[in-house]
């Protein structure tokens, strides 16, 4: 008999009526001949209320007690839903996280699932029950209740769907499905009928709050078909799958994190091991870093910036100060009231001009781009928070995201040939690695990819004002050149630097184009390096796991390999190094990860 997992979010179980509606959906799925597991969240704003209650007791609640407290929200809902199902004449049993058999590590408030013992679940299902499972919680090896991080019920649902080999995992929520961007920000946002795991993973980890990004990791690893659907109607929702039927969009969606904080380390030594040391310090505190940007060093010193979530900011500053003290050189800077806006789309790896168009739109909104970082299927920029919402609206408009299948004329044709086959991710290999994991949420790194076909261009001393990045990348796009990694760090003393990589064969033309553009700008210099290699580890959920960067940089440092550029995505952690060291890098990374 096939198994269906349904998950109802907080709003969808907020009132007695809504709980009854959820009960009816579960009963209908059972009546259709399935075994049914329902995962629920805490009702309405319950979790927020519990967090506020804790804050009334202390500024610094013990993480263990926080988990004991927060897990009660979901416990309330399971009992109520179970009663609702009983009253409709069906059998149901409610289970808390520990009762379901969800084993996690001991990282209170951000625990990761290790394994799920399904014996009891199967017994209850086989006996004809609808099983109601509390989302967001499990227990560690000592029996302590743990929670998975805010929004974690999605992860409970997909993890259960994975271990039960469910035919579908349905995420019922308060919108029609996954939209091109948050419909609360852009009312014209369009529901996406189907989306790939990779795009959804990027969108979720870059801020699209509709799904917990770790739940998409589960779905991709264990190939769980996932559907995000409205709880209040019979809408079809959005299917999240390996290969969506309609994948012609260049940009699929836009994500925003409104409240980003930046930590910078400036004037630090440019030598192997520095990145490794900084990442190790952050990983030790389980601080996920995003928008990691390193300037191409000048005069023997480097500048590194990254953004961190608000709750980790104080710790990240302490760790950065420690790093600078140990290095005996440099200073720590920070920035607040920043937002990160990202565009995500599978098609952007094959089309030219996507970055140029994004930057141009931002410039037209009179908004300055403070930092840029790219991955294979995403481009992220850091901008001022007060300009973020209007920027998202403008980008949505300029990419015509409210219409289906619109490729705008400024965007160039597919450039499939420019992507070397060695860069394609080996999904079979990925699957083998997943099957061999000892813990379900362990890092999956399935490949080490070396690309020695690219060159790097750096433009220094650019005026720090709206429109600069747009002008440069428009010129390059007009030459039909496919830009790959782009990196821009925050400005110092009113000037900024931009670096990017491109196919080596296009270097000469690109230098000509850029030199023409920058000529009138005083003090701007252009340099290049045609002896670089891009080396990446590929896998699933790499940015969300704090340990990947740490391991990668430590391995490269052990071979005295200096890191010139860094790019992160959920699928890849990429560094640019000197080409002469590419094979050494490949060997040490393969040894470390594979
Ligand atoms: P639940 O309580 O059901 O888990 P959430 O509040 O976590 O619901 O997620 C649903 C909300 O996510 C929507 O109300 C919407 O405002 C927001 N959201 C953000 N980005 C998107 C997006 N790209 N598509 C749909 N909803 C989004
Ligand atoms: N109740 C938890 C939260 O609000 C988990 C969830 O709803 O997914 O974060
Ligand atoms: Mg949610």
Among the listed residues 380, 204, 215, the one whose alpha carbon sits nearest the alpha carbon of residue 290: 380
Does residue 10 have its Cβ closer than 6 Å to ligand 2?
A: yes
Q: What pLDDT does residue 518 have?
A: 93
Helix (H) or strand (E) holding 202: helix 197-205
Q: What's the gap in Å between 23 CA and the centre of ligand 1?
A: 22
Angle at 423 between CA 241 and CA 344, to 5 degrees: 45
Alpha carbon 273 to its chain's center: 26
Does residue 179 have its Cβ closer than 6 Å to ligand 1?
A: yes
The phi, psi pair for 423, rounded to 5°, reads: -85, -15
With tokens 């000892």, the residue in question is: 438
Does residue 11 have its Cβ closer than 6 Å to ligand 1?
A: yes
**Alpha carbon distances (Å) from 196 to 92, 281, 360:** 34, 34, 27
- The residue whose CA is least distant from atom 2 of ligand 1 is 9
With tokens 């940015």, the residue in question is: 543
224 CB contacts (<8 Å, ≥6 apart)? 158, 161, 162, 166, 169, 218
**Closest-lying ligand to the alpha carbon of 136?**
2
**Alpha carbon distances (Å) from 239 to 119, 214, 255, 345, 584:** 29, 17, 18, 16, 42
CA distance 554 to 548: 10
**Alpha carbon distances (Å) from 564 to 263, 375, 553:** 19, 16, 12
Does residue 75 have its Cβ closer than 6 Å to ligand 2?
A: no
Does residue 215 have its Cβ closer than 6 Å to ligand 2?
A: no
Q: What's the gap in Å between 211 CA and the centre of ligand 3?
A: 6
Alpha carbon 582 to its chain's center: 27
Does residue 156 have its Cβ closer than 6 Å to ligand 1?
A: no
CA distance 587 to 473: 35
With the C-alpha atoms ordered 107, 110, 114, 119, is the resulting torsion angle positive or negative? positive
CA distance 345 to 343: 7
Cβ 47 vs Cβ 110: under 8 Å: no
- The residue whose CA is least distant from atom 9 of ligand 2 is 150
Q: What's the gap in Å between 207 CA and the centre of ligand 2?
A: 16
Cβ 238 vs Cβ 195: under 8 Å: yes
Nearest atom, ligand 2, residue 153 CA? 8
CA distance 64 to 559: 40
Residue from 152, 157, 228, 311 to probe ligand 2 pocket by mutation (most atoms less than 8 Å from CB): 152
Q: Which CATH number, 3.40.50.300, 3.40.1160.10, 3.90.1150.10, 3.30.1490.20, labels domain 3-174?
A: 3.40.1160.10
CA distance 232 to 593: 45
The phi, psi pair for 252, rounded to 5°, reads: -90, -40
Does residue 175 have its Cβ closer than 6 Å to ligand 1?
A: yes
Q: What's the gap in Å between 217 CA and the centre of ligand 1?
A: 18
Q: What pLDDT does residue 406 have?
A: 59
CA dihedral angle for residue 308, residue 533, residue 199, residue 201, rounded to 10 degrees: -40
Judging by DSSP bridges, how do beta strands 35-40 and 194-196 pair with one another?
A: unpaired
The phi, psi pair for 84, rounded to 5°, reads: -60, -40
Does residue 412 have its Cβ closer than 6 Å to ligand 1?
A: no
Nearest atom, ligand 2, residue 48 CA? 4
The two structure tokens encoding residue 223 = 């190939």
CA distance 287 to 308: 7
Cβ 91 vs Cβ 131: under 8 Å: no
Q: What's the gap in Å between 358 CA and the centre of ligand 3?
A: 28
Residue 325 burial by Cβ neighbours in a 10 Å radius (0-12, 13-18, 19+): exposed
Residue from 47, 48, 49, 110 to probe ligand 2 pocket by mutation (most atoms less than 8 Å from CB): 47
**Model confidence pTM above 0.85:** yes
Render each residue's pLDDT in the chain as its tens digit; 594 residues.
899 999 999 999 999 999 999 999 999 999 999 999 999 999 999 999 999 999 999 999 999 999 999 999 999 999 999 999 999 999 999 999 999 999 999 999 999 999 999 999 999 999 999 999 999 999 999 999 999 999 999 999 999 999 999 999 999 999 999 999 999 999 999 999 999 999 999 999 999 999 999 999 999 999 999 999 999 999 999 999 998 887 667 999 999 999 999 999 999 998 889 989 998 999 888 888 888 888 777 788 888 999 998 889 999 999 999 999 999 999 999 999 999 999 999 988 888 899 999 999 999 999 999 999 999 899 999 999 999 999 999 999 999 999 876 567 777 776 655 444 445 567 788 888 898 898 999 989 999 999 999 999 999 999 988 999 999 999 999 899 999 999 998 888 888 999 999 999 999 999 999 999 999 999 999 999 999 999 999 999 888 787 888 899 999 999 999 998 888 889 999 999 999 999 999 999 999 999
The two structure tokens encoding residue 249 = 């969009």
**Alpha carbon distances (Å) from 448 to 281, 451, 587, 588:** 24, 10, 9, 10
Angle at 236 between CA 234 and CA 238, to 5 degrees: 140
**Closest-lying ligand to the alpha carbon of 73?**
2
Q: What pLDDT does residue 236 have?
A: 96
Does residue 10 have its Cβ closer than 6 Å to ligand 1?
A: yes
Does residue 135 have its Cβ closer than 6 Å to ligand 2?
A: yes
411 CB contacts (<8 Å, ≥6 apart)? 250, 351, 352, 353, 354, 357
**Alpha carbon distances (Å) from 346 to 215, 354, 375, 403:** 20, 12, 11, 17
CA distance 409 to 122: 54
With tokens 């001949």, the residue in question is: 33
Among the listed residues 356, 354, 372, the one whose alpha carbon sits nearest the alpha carbon of residue 475: 356
Q: What sections of 36-136 are H helices per DSSP?
A: 46-57, 63-87, 97-100, 119-126
Cβ 386 vs Cβ 353: under 8 Å: no
Residue from 175, 201, 388, 395 to probe ligand 1 pocket by mutation (most atoms less than 8 Å from CB): 175
Domain boundaries, the chain: 3-174
464 CB contacts (<8 Å, ≥6 apart)? 368, 491, 494, 495, 496
Nearest atom, ligand 2, residue 149 CA? 9
Residue 290 burial by Cβ neighbours in a 10 Å radius (0-12, 13-18, 19+): buried
Cβ 95 vs Cβ 78: under 8 Å: yes
Burial 468-493 (b: 16+ CB within 10 A, else e): bbbbbbbbbbeeebbbbbbbbbbbee
Q: What pLDDT does residue 421 have?
A: 40
**Closest-lying ligand to the alpha carbon of 240?**
1
Q: Return residues with CB closer than 5 A to ligand 3 (ion).
A: 9, 151
CA distance 360 to 471: 8
Q: What pLDDT does residue 416 have?
A: 54
Q: What's the gap in Å between 74 CA and the centre of ligand 3?
A: 13
Judging by DSSP bridges, how do beta strands 331-344 and 253-269 pair with one another?
A: antiparallel
Task: Write the DSSP string, 446-500.
Answer: EEEEEE-SEEEEEEEEEE-STTHHHHHHHHHHHTT-----EEEPPPBTTEEEEEE
Q: What's the gap in Å between 557 CA and the centre of ligand 1?
A: 41
The two structure tokens encoding residue 513 = 């184009």
């Amino acid at each position: 008999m096939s198994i269906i997992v349904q998950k109802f979010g907080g709003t969808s179980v907020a009132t007695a009526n809504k709980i009854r509606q959820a009960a009816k959906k579960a009963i209908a799925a059972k009546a259709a001949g399935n075994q049914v597991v329902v995962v629920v969240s805490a009702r309405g704003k319950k979790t927020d209320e519990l967090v506020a209650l804790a804050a009334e007791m202390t500024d610094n609640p013990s993480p263990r007690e926080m988990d004991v407290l927060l897990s009660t929200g979901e416990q309330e809902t399971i009992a109520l839903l179970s009663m609702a199902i009983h009253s409709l004449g069906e059998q149901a049993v409610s289970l808390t996280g520990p009762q379901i058999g969800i084993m996690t590590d001991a990282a209170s408030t951000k625990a990761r699932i290790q394994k799920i013992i399904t014996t009891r679940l199967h017994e209850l299902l086989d006996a004809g029950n609808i099983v109601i499972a509390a989302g967001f919680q499990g227990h560690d090896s000592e029996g302590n209740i743990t929670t998975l991080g805010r929004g974690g019920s999605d992860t409970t649902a997909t993890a259960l769907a994975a271990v039960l080999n469910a035919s579908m995992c349905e995420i019922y929520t308060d919108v029609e499905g996954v939209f091109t961007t948050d419909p609360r920000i852009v009312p014209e946002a369009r529901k996406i009928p189907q989306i790939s795991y990779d795009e959804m993973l990027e969108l979720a980890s870059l801020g699209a709050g509709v799904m917990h990004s770790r739940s998409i990791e589960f779905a991709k690893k264990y190939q769980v078909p996932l559907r995000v659907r409205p709880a209040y109607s019979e809408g079809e929702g959005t299917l999240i799958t390996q290969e969506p039927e309609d994948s012609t969009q260049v940009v699929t969606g836009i994500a925003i994190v409104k409240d980003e904080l930046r930590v910078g380390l400036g004037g630090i030594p440019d030598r192997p091991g520095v990145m490794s040391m900084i990442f190790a310090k952050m990983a030790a505190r389980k601080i996920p870093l995003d928008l990691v940007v390193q300037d191409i060093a000048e005069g023997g010193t480097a500048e590194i910036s990254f953004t961190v979530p608000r709750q980790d900011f104080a710790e990240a500053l302490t760790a950065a100060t420690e790093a600078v003290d140990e290095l005996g050189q440099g200073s720590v800077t920070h920035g607040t009231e920043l937002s990160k806006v990202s565009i995500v789309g599978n098609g952007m790896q094959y089309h030219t001009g996507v970055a140029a168009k994004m930057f141009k739109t931002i410039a037209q909104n009179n908004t300055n781009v403070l930092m840029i970082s790219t991955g294979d299927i995403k481009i992220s920029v850091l901008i001022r928070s007060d300009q973020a919402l209007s920027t998202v609206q403008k980008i949505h408009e300029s990419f015509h995201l409210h219409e289906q299948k619109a490729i705008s004329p400024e965007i160039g044709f597919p450039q499939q040939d420019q992507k070397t086959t060695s860069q394609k991710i080996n999904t079979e290999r990925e699957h083998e690695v997943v099957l061999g994991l000892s813990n379900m949420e362990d890092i999956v790194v399935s490949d080490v990819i070396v690309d020695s076909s690219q060159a790097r261009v750096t433009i220094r001393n650019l005026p720090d004002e709206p429109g600069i990045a747009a002008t440069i990348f428009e010129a390059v796009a007009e030459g039909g050149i496919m830009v790959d990694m782009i990196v821009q760090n925050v400005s110092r003393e009113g000037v900024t630097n931009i670096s990017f990589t491109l196919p080596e064969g296009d270097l000469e033309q690109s230098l000509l184009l850029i030199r023409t553009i920058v000529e009138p700008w005083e003090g701007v210099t252009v340099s290049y390096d045609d002896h670089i290699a891009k080396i990446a580890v590929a896998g699933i959920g790499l940015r969300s796991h704090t340990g990947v960067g740490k391991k990668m940089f430590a391995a490269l440092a052990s071979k005295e390999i200096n890191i010139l550029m860094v790019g992160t995505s959920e699928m890849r952690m990429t560094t640019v190094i000197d080409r002469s060291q590419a094979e050494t890098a490949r060997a040490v990374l393969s040894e470390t990860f594979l």
